[in-house]
């Protein structure tokens, strides 16, 4: 039994190591035998001390994954034994391990069907996309959603969940290759970064207006897209891959009364009723099983090849997710 441990703050290629995992189960814990775990950008930010959750040096790494309950603590419902569960991505336990211990409150039981590599990603990107589309803007079928980083993993889920709900999407990307990828996901309109972005977004919309804008890039791009947002419309920032603050024109904020809001999944995991969390993940797991949502997986690595996996996950222009796969027998 082994787990990836963070030995000091910094790049996990140099600062993580594969260590024996004693897997001691407390009264409120469950022991999981892992099937798959994804490498999320959040994980790399966390290891480098650049995320909003304090780093726990000497603790396990990995924010999300899927596995089966092998053992339950004395205070845990024994009905969880043998169940397939996902780990909630609150960074209170590590998922990059062949077996790992988590508080029972930090796992959600799902069905036995579905591809492990896809289910391992449920906790962060699909959940974020689901909440963004259901919490903001009072959207109706036929409405238009603008998004930055449209070819990202979360961009894929936004496009697919929007299509299932009858919404249309306009996605911003950085290359024509990425634009083709977004079209293959089912994106309705795609605009490539460049000069006069605001004008080209308006031209692509052909007189229509956006009903909601979702931003994971930060910087000035979202302000360009927001120029096509309806009066009083909402921009929701859920990340800043550029590490720059979201920049929206004063005229748009004041004269057109646009709203800029923020969303952080960790807050939802901390504050949402348990029934809401379970219902959200049950719905998303069912969509994975039906093949209606998924993300592109570019590579799968065994845990022992973690350095290569991290290097791959950090490759610019990567077209899909990198995951760890485990022998869950």
pLDDT tens digits for 267-290? 999 999 999 999 999 999 999 999
Mean pLDDT, all residues of the chain: 95
Q: How high is the pLDDT of residue 307?
A: 96
| % of the chain with per-residue pLDDT over 70 | 99
In this prediction, residues 120-133 reach a mean pLDDT of 97
Q: How high is the pLDDT of residue 120?
A: 97
Three-state SS string across 107-135, please?
EEEECCCCCHHHHCCCCCHHHHHHHHHHH
Which of 73, 135, 56, 157 has its CA nearest to residue 107? Answer: 73
CA distances from 173 to 39, 94, 196, 260 (A): 22, 32, 14, 21
Contact, 136 vs 236, CB < 8 A? yes
pTM of the model: 0.95
pLDDT tens for each residue of 24-44: 899 999 999 999 999 999 999
Which of 112, 25, 21 has its CA nearest to residue 76? Answer: 25
3-state helix, strand, coil in the chain (%, to 5): 35, 25, 40
Which of 225, 203, 90 has its CA nearest to residue 150? Answer: 225
pLDDT tens for each residue of 222-259: 999 999 999 999 999 999 999 999 999 999 999 999 99
| % of the chain with per-residue pLDDT over 90 | 93
User: CA 127 to CA 281: how far, in whole Å?
Assistant: 7
Q: How high is the pLDDT of residue 328?
A: 54
Phi/psi at 221 (5° precision): -60, -45
Q: How high is the pLDDT of residue 329?
A: 46
CATH number of the structural domain 2-123+266-325? 3.90.180.10
CATH superfamily of 137-262: NAD(P)-binding Rossmann-like Domain (3.40.50.720)
Q: How high is the pLDDT of residue 137?
A: 85
Contact, 32 vs 67, CB < 8 A? yes
User: CA 86 to CA 280: how far, in whole Å?
Assistant: 12
User: CA 99 to CA 167: how far, in whole Å?
Assistant: 40
Contact, 139 vs 166, CB < 8 A? no
pLDDT tens for each residue of 42-93: 999 999 999 999 999 999 999 999 999 999 999 999 999 999 999 999 999 9
317 pLDDT exceeds 90? no
pLDDT tens for each residue of 284-309: 999 999 999 999 999 999 999 999 99
| Per-domain residue ranges of the chain | 2-123+266-325, 137-262
Distance of CA 61 to the CA centre of its chain: 16
Residues forming beta bridges with residue 322, ordered by sequence position = 299
Q: How high is the pLDDT of residue 210?
A: 98
Q: How high is the pLDDT of residue 144?
A: 98
């Amino acid at each position: 039994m082994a787990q990836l441990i963070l030995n000091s703050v910094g790049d996990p290629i140099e600062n993580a190591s594969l260590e024996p995992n004693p897997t001691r189960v407390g009264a409120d814990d469950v022991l999981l035998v892992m099937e798959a775990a994804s490498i999320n950008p959040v994980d790399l930010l966390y290891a480098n001390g650049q995320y909003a959750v304090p780093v726990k040096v000497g603790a396990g790494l990995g924010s999300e994954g899927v596995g089966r309950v092998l053992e339950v603590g004395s205070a845990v419902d024994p009905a969880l034994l043998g169940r397939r569960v996902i780990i909630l991505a609150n960074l209170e336990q590590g998922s990059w391990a062949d077996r790992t211990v988590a508080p029972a409150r930090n796992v959600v039981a799902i069905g036995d069907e579905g591809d492990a590599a896809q289910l391992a990603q449920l906790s962060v990107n699909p959940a974020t996309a689901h909440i963004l589309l259901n919490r903001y803007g009072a959207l109706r079928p036929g409405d238009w959603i603008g998004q930055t980083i449209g070819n990202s993993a979360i961009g894929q889920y936004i496009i697919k969940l929007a299509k299932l709900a009858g919404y249309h999407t306009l996605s911003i990307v950085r290359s024509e290759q990425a634009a083709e990828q977004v079209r293959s996901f089912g994106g309705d309109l795609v605009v490539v970064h460049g000069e006069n972005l605001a004008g080209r977004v308006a031209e692509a919309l052909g007189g229509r207006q956006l009903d909601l804008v979702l931003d994971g890039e930060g910087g000035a791009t979202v302000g360009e897209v927001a120029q096509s947002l309806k009066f009083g419309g909402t921009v929701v920032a859920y990340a800043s891959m550029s590490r720059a603050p979201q920049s929206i024109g004063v005229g748009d904020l004041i004269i057109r009364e646009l709203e800029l809001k923020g969303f952080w999944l960790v807050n939802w995991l901390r504050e949402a009723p348990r029934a809401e969390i379970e219902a959200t993940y049950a719905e998303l797991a069912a969509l994975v099983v039906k093949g209606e949502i998924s993300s592109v997986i570019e590579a799968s690595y065994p845990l022992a090849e973690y350095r290569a996996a991290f290097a791959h996950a950090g490759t610019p222009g990567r077209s899909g997710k990198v995951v760890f796969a485990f022998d869950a027998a």
